[in-house]
A and B are shown apart, each in its own frame.
Chain A
């Protein structure tokens, strides 16, 4: 009887661990966010593209008398 209890407890722990992993796994599979944000290569490419599309910084010129 005691052995059965241990086995059930072990199964319960294993089940809860597996379910937790599965939840995370589900999020990952369903989301393009995670595909990109966990890939350094994809992020580097995207941020480079963003950088290229932005106008070059000209630096701030302070207007006399306005500051």
Chain B
């Protein structure tokens, strides 16, 4: 994403004022504060509200838009991160307090807001008005969605990881909003603890309705694997995994975080939380950037119950292809140990945390002797 020059970030297009009869006719200071009569910009910007839609969008948007669910939208609340951190913190209230501080200083900064998608680039991506303050009904993908979800999802989707193809949906010109609807983004009023619980989240079958139908191509393979493997197990390519992340302050007192090198991998593991929405036994797993000492700066041993949550987590890579290395033939996957997260793939100090997702050798599907018997027309 091209960075914006400082003045570009603040430039307001007159089209916004002249053509947007709703937003363009509202006085600037009604949302942003400041003193509109003061000709000296140095003093006029006193008490300016840069993003009037965060943390509360009610006063800026609520008169005309229904923003009741806003605060519970995962893009605003980031609740799953908070829940996971506290679960790892165990029952230690003092540790929770320190983790809250770490969350507010670092993790919590990467939130979205109404304005951070529809008017400007997100603050965590260095902000800047998208199109001269002209409201974007459909936020532009590269300047908003992948400005934040860039290093993993963006690179996967656009095919920017060396040797890997882009997601087929990108090649079909599909933008994020095609699957991730506004309804999902804006929240449905429920305070979910995990993004995979979100009821109106995307499902492959929303579009691929006939996949299990009698006349569908590859119906045998699809029905055989139904509820046993997630779609991603067969149809995603390798994806980026993160090792760990540490937070702290530098010598000038500036907060920083640093991550250890990431790596490309593809690992099938056990689904640790089988549900109606995700009944599959096998899912793709991605290592997330956390270690026992990630928050050490805030307090020794703050993650007392580190092993309560796995560090290899269910993932939905955004690099889907119809044909992949692992679905070339039955035995490209069956009996292929290298595709599965087995005991030796997991760091010694993380084995306990990942007990529920590591695939025991006895659980790995056996090689199929007469491959043609199970082979479809992939």
Min CB–CB distance B207 → chain A (angstroms):
40
Q: Determine which of B24, B250, B257 lies in contact with A63 in the assembled complex, contact meaning CB atoms within 8 Å.
A: B250
Question: With a CB–CB cut-off of 8 A, which chain B residues contact A31?
Answer: 27-29, 36
Contact residues in A for B247 (Cβ distance below 8 Å): 67
Contact size range, B: 35 or more
Report Cα–Cα, A27/B11, bound state, in Å. 17
Residues in B4-19 with C-beta less than 8 Å from chain A: 5-7, 10-14, 17-18
A55 nearest CB across to chain B (Å): 10
Q: Which of B242-268 contact A (CB under 8 A)?
A: 246-252, 254, 256-258
**Are A33's CB and B258's CB within 8 A?**
no
Nearest opposing residue in chain A for B257, CB measure: A67
Cα–Cα distance between A62 and B248 once the two chains are bound (Å): 8
**A63 lies within 8 A of B29 (CB):** no
- Give the residues in chain A near B257, CB-CB below 8 Å: 67
Closest to A63 in B: B251
A37, B250: Cβ atoms closer than 8 Å:
no
Inter-chain contacts of A63 with B (CB < 8 A): 248-251
CA distance A43 to B24 in the complex (A): 20
User: Do A58 and B256 contact each other (CB < 8 Å), given the known contacts A38-B11, A38-B12?
Assistant: no
B116 to chain A minimum Cβ distance, whole angstroms, is 19
Contact A33 B34 (CB under 8 A): yes
User: In the complex, A50 Cα to B10 Cα: how many Å?
Assistant: 13
**Contact between A61 and B252 (Cβ–Cβ < 8 Å)?**
yes
Q: Are A62 and B24 in contact (CB under 8 A)?
A: no
Return chain A residues, CB-CB under 8 Å to B27: 27, 30-31
A60–B253 Cα distance when bound, in Å, is 9
Instruction: Return the contact of A61 from the options B10, B26, B36, B251 (Cβ within 8 A).
Output: B251
- Chain B residues with CB below 8 A from A24, complex form: 17-18, 24-25
Inside 8 A of A7's CB, which chain B residues have their CB?
Answer: none
Interface string of A16-35 (1 = CB under 8 A from B): 00001101100110111110
Residue B137 interfacial (CB < 8 Å): no
> Which parts of A1-59 form the interface with B (CB within 8 Å)?
20-21, 23-24, 27-28, 30-34, 36-38, 40, 43-44, 46-48, 50-51, 58
Give the residues in chain B near A33, CB-CB below 8 Å.
28-29, 32, 34, 36, 44
- B36 engages A67 (CB within 8 Å): no
Chain A positions within 8 Å of B249 at CB level: 63, 66
Contact A32/B44 with A60-B256, A62-B258 known, Cβ cut-off 8 Å: yes
CA distance A45 to B17 in the complex (A): 23
List of A residues within 8 angstroms of B25 by Cβ: 20, 23-24, 27
Flag whether B362 is at the interface (Cβ < 8 A). no
Residue-wise, chain B 30-69 has the 8 Å CB interface mask toward A (1 for contact) of: 0010101111010010000000000000000000000000
- A12 smallest CB distance to B (angstroms): 16
The reply to whether A58 and B17 contact each other, CB–CB distance below 8 Å, is no
Can you list 30 A-B contacts (CB < 8 A)?
A20-B21, A21-B18, A27-B17, A27-B24, A27-B28, A28-B17, A31-B28, A31-B29, A32-B36, A32-B38, A32-B41, A33-B28, A33-B44, A34-B17, A37-B12, A37-B28, A38-B11, A38-B12, A38-B17, A40-B7, A43-B6, A43-B7, A44-B7, A47-B6, A60-B252, A62-B250, A62-B258, A63-B251, A67-B257, A67-B297
Residues of A within 8 A of B (CB): 20-21, 23-24, 27-28, 30-34, 36-38, 40, 43-44, 46-48, 50-51, 58, 60-63, 66-67
Task: State the 6 A-B residue pairs at the shortest beta-carbon distance, nearest first.
Answer: A67-B248, A47-B6, A43-B7, A66-B248, A37-B12, A33-B28
